[in-house]
Amino acid sequence: MARHGKISVPGEPFKAYTVHPFGRDYLSTNGVQYCATAISNTNTYAPIEAVTVEVPTIGELLEIEAAITWGQRSEGTTEGAVGMVQARNEGGTWVDLLETAATNTTIGVAYQEMSYSGVFPAETNFNRAPFDMRVVVKSSGTTENAIGRVKSSSYVTVICDQDSRD
């Protein structure tokens, strides 16, 4: 499905805020951090990590640029894991940010890293700040649990109109 956002005109005032809301945990010797792991009970999506993105904006949300990396795996050896990135207006209805769910290409108990990035325009149910974002995981079957963890290098850049009060 093609998505169309508001077109930016050169010289149009806008603001961009970049935040790293995911994967905050203990410092590490190599700088690689993940959030605590989360487990999905069989084939129902469960949040790996959910955050509220707050930026000091007073203008309209135009789009976000995001790069989200997470690891996902199965607890067993016969089913895979399926992940999704979602966002919504704070407390609203979730919007999928991936065209299709991220599915492991290998089955097993080793983490497979998923990395998705791009620009997503504002739309109904996701058009203002602050907003909620989450990465969710579930099993590709019905008998094994899926496990996930989000990497701290993940980021979100929020692009909004600059209000005339600035």
Provide the residue range defining the domain that includes 98: 14-161
**Contact (CB, 8 A) for 77 and 106:** no
Q: Determine, yes or no, domain membership for 3.
A: no
Q: Report pLDDT for 88.
A: 96
Q: Determine, yes or no, domain membership for 122.
A: yes
Q: Report pLDDT for 163.
A: 58
Q: Determine, yes or no, domain membership for 4.
A: no
Strand partners, 67: 117, 155
Q: Report pLDDT for 36.
A: 87
DSSP three-state, residue 62: strand
Angstrom distance (rounded) from CA 127 to CA 130:
9
Q: Determine, yes or no, domain membership for 9.
A: no
Side chain identity at residue 77, one-letter code: T
Residue 165 tokens, joined: 């009060």
pTM of the model: 0.86
Count how many Cα atoms sit within 13 Å of the Cα of residue 35 in the half-sphere of its side chain: 26
**Dihedral over Cα of 102, 109, 43, 148: its sign:** negative
Q: Report pLDDT for 151.
A: 93
Q: How far is CA 74 from the centre of its chain?
A: 20
Q: Report pLDDT for 50.
A: 94
Q: Determine, yes or no, domain membership for 1.
A: no
Q: Name the domain count of the chain.
A: 1
pLDDT tens for each residue of 88-130 = 999 999 999 999 999 987 888 889 999 999 999 999 999 988 8
First and final CA of the chain: distance in angstroms? 36
Residues in the chain with pLDDT values less than 50: 1-5, 7, 164-166
Q: Report pLDDT for 1.
A: 41
Q: What's the angle, vertex CA 11, arms to CA 7 and CA 17, rounded to 5?
A: 75
**Contact (CB, 8 A) for 38 and 8:** no
Q: Determine, yes or no, domain membership for 51.
A: yes
Q: Report pLDDT for 12.
A: 63
Residue 129's CATH number: 2.60.120
Q: Determine, yes or no, domain membership for 45.
A: yes
